[in-house]
A and B are shown apart, each in its own frame.
Chain A
Amino acid sequence: MRKLLILSSMLLLIGIGKSMAGQADLFHYDAVTVENQMAQLNQLEGYVMSNPGITLGEMTTNGHALASLVSDPNGISGFNLINEKVLGIPGFLWGCVFGVIGVAIVYFVGQNDKAETKSALIGCVVSYLTIGVAYGVSAAIAAASGGL
């Protein structure tokens, strides 16, 4: 019986350890892979830093080989990068998590996407209903406590 208890405890500890380690493992990335992916851009950055004020247009005009790294068709718009969805949250969830502000954001962003705005609006209503239910329950509990 004692051995069984010790064995169970050990298995439990191993299980807890594994589950915690699993979560910590999520906070890991392959730095070498990232560096390799950035190698060409690092080279370009080094060139630009050593030639302050130079632009891509000037590099292209001069026929600089590094310019082709970020020119069409390889180029993507850096300007569009700051247009990203914060937290990567779709319309419904913006409405749900950020309420009216979320709906407003989706409305402004998705002017051509009525479905997305509607989705955010539904999310907003759902969230307020949830809050409403929570407040209702709290009020009922408070009332009951007061009556005792």
Chain B
Amino acid sequence: MKTTFRNILLLICLSFLPSVLVIGQQYNRIRADFSVKVKIPSGGQTLALGQVYYDKNIKQIIYYVTFPEREIWLTYDTLVYQIRNDKLVTKTATFAMAEFTVFHLALNSRMQDYGLRNTLFTATEVTKDGDLVITTWSSPPKNRQSLGNILVSVKNKQLFGVVFQDPKGGVIRKQFFEEYLLSSGLSFPGKIVEINTTEGRDSYQVTTYKNIVVDETQNDNKYFYNISGLHL
């Protein structure tokens, strides 16, 4: 009787173990070397290289750019700052909020749903095809005339691709998350390929991340930039 009770207790403890382990995986900081290459249909192209630092508690994404010029690109709230030699060059509004970036999603282990679970989008269909699990996220019914679906695919429990559709089902944007790297237990895409389609013409963006460091205890000053003293 005692043995049975002990076995049941052990079973209960073991069943809770995975969730305890998941809860234990809390990440706060990430830094990486990045490169961004873009080519647009007109033939215009650009290359940017440098290091990016992000602390999810501070919510400043700081790009220390080394090419094309040595400068800092910093996004915080709804603003993006261009800083050169500790002087503000430009300050403009941006849509690129920290919460919807790959850095924030990865640190919070939310890559798989692309952060859509926190929006009014709802998962309306889940299908499995080979090694892909595809979730269709739809906007509220009243808005489906103006907003298409977002399809998110997961492969081997990692975000694989995101497809944005127009209301008629046409593809307007594709993103692919590849070459995952593992750092301190955090899985992060080493390469993101993005294809945007406008009026039948494609533009391409390839972003790579290397030398990823998670939760480093040094370089505190790299994760925060005092923007209060910056003026145009």
B69 interface neighbour in A49, A57, A127, Cβ under 8 Å: A57
B147 near A89: Cβ-Cβ < 8 Å: yes
The answer to whether the Cβ of B96 comes within 8 Å of any Cβ in the partner chain is yes
A88 near B66: Cβ-Cβ < 8 Å: no
The answer to whether the Cβ of A77 comes within 8 Å of any Cβ in the partner chain is yes
A29 near B176: Cβ-Cβ < 8 Å: yes
B204 near A86: Cβ-Cβ < 8 Å: no
The answer to whether the Cβ of B44 comes within 8 Å of any Cβ in the partner chain is yes
Question: Known: A34-B206, A89-B147, A130-B142. Is A82-B96 also a contact (CB below 8 A)?
Answer: yes
Question: Known: A45-B49, A56-B69, A77-B46. Is A109-B94 also a contact (CB below 8 A)?
Answer: yes
A-side interface mostly: helix
Residues of B within 8 A of A24 (CB): 129-130, 132, 134, 153
Output the least CB separation between B64 and chain A (Å): 13
Residues of B within 8 A of A108 (CB): 78-79, 93
Digitize A63-99: 1 where CB-to-B-CB distance is under 8 Å, 0 elsewhere: 0000001100111111101111111110011101111
B96 interface neighbour in A76, A78, A86, Cβ under 8 Å: A86
B150 near A56: Cβ-Cβ < 8 Å: no
Output the least CB separation between B14 and chain A (Å): 36
Residues of B within 8 A of A74 (CB): 43-45
Output the least CB separation between A127 and chain B (Å): 6
Residues of A within 8 A of B82 (CB): 79
Output the least CB separation between B66 and chain A (Å): 7
The answer to whether the Cβ of B123 comes within 8 Å of any Cβ in the partner chain is no
Residues of A within 8 A of B93 (CB): 105, 108-111
Question: Known: A83-B80, A126-B143. Is A23-B49 also a contact (CB below 8 A)?
Answer: no
The answer to whether the Cβ of B219 comes within 8 Å of any Cβ in the partner chain is no
Residues of A within 8 A of B15 (CB): none
The answer to whether the Cβ of A38 comes within 8 Å of any Cβ in the partner chain is yes
A76 near B44: Cβ-Cβ < 8 Å: yes
Output the least CB separation between B47 and chain A (Å): 5
A104 to B78, CA, bound (A): 9
The CB with the most chain A CB atoms within 10 A, among B68, B94, B97, B127, is that of: B68
Closest to B90 in A: A79
Question: Known: A96-B139, A108-B79. Is A81-B195 also a contact (CB below 8 A)?
Answer: no
Residues of A within 8 A of B75 (CB): 82
Residues of B within 8 A of A147 (CB): none
A89 to B95, CA, bound (A): 10
Digitize B40-54: 1 where CB-to-A-CB distance is under 8 Å, 0 elsewhere: 100111111100000
Digitize B162-197: 1 where CB-to-A-CB distance is under 8 Å, 0 elsewhere: 011000000111101000000000000000010110
* Interface hit among B1-9, B21-29, B31-39, B222-230: B31-39
Interface residues of chain A, those whose CB is within 8 Å of chain B, are 20-21, 23-24, 26-27, 29, 31, 34, 37-38, 40-42, 44-45, 48-49, 52-57, 69-70, 73-79, 81-89, 92-94, 96-99, 104-105, 108-111, 123, 126-127, 130
Give 7 pairs: A residue, B residue, CB < 8 Å, sorted on A.
Answer: A27-B153, A38-B37, A45-B37, A70-B45, A84-B96, A111-B93, A126-B142
Which are the 3 A-B pairs with shortest beta-carbon distances?
A56-B68, A78-B48, A24-B129
Known: A26-B174, A92-B146, A97-B121. 18 other contacts (CB 8 A): A23-B127, A23-B134, A23-B151, A29-B174, A29-B193, A48-B49, A55-B70, A76-B45, A77-B46, A78-B47, A83-B92, A83-B96, A85-B95, A88-B164, A88-B172, A89-B147, A96-B143, A97-B139
